């Protein structure tokens, strides 16, 4: 059986193009996800796809970065699939599969490049924030906690847990505001 896996990073993005490509490639079952690939632990549909796959099946994705953004995660995923006897193919990057040792090498090299690119993007993002802060254009996220309101509620007899629930913040934030 051919199993497809499609992923986008945010809920505003569409999975339609990936779905069409996976279906055209013969995927009989497709797992969809709208979540960041920075970690595999939060990717429920990926875990379901991997547990659904049986020996002789193949997991396909449209692009390698849909599966993993780090070399370590990619190797762990491929290792799990290989131990189960499940193949892997990447549609838009020919030669990226688990059929031969050369394919494994190509997969490792592309994963390293992908991980390198992700690192560069993060560095640029941090650099951009620092430049914007220096220019006075970036102030960060506005404070979501009103310390005066917390103190008023506490003076009115409310406990920390009730204040946190009402203001939709954690109790630790209540204690910090009260201590200030």
Enumerate the active-site residues. Answer: 9
CB of 53 closer than 8 Å to CB of 59: yes
CA angle 92, 108, 74 (to 5 degrees): 80
């Amino acid at each position: 059986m051919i199993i497809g896996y499609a992923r986008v990073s945010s809920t505003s993005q569409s999975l339609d193009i990936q779905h069409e490509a996976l279906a055209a490639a013969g995927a009989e079952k497709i797992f969809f996800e709208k979540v960041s690939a920075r970690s595999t632990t939060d990717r429920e549909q990926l875990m379901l796809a991997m547990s659904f796959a049986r020996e002789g099946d193949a997991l396909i994705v449209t692009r390698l970065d849909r599966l993993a953004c780090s070399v370590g995660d990619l190797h762990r995923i491929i290792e799990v699939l290989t131990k189960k006897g499940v193949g892997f193919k990447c549609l838009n990057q020919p030669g990226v599969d688990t059929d031969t040792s050369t394919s494994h090498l190509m997969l490792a090299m592309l994963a390293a490049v992908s991980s390198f690119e992700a690192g560069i993007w993060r560095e640029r993002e941090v650099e951009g924030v620092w430049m914007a802060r220096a220019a006075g254009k970036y102030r960060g996220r506005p404070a979501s906690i009103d310390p005066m309101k917390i103190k008023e509620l506490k003076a009115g007899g409310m406990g920390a847990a009730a204040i946190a629930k009402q203001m939709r913040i954690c109790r630790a934030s209540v204690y910090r505001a009260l201590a200030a």
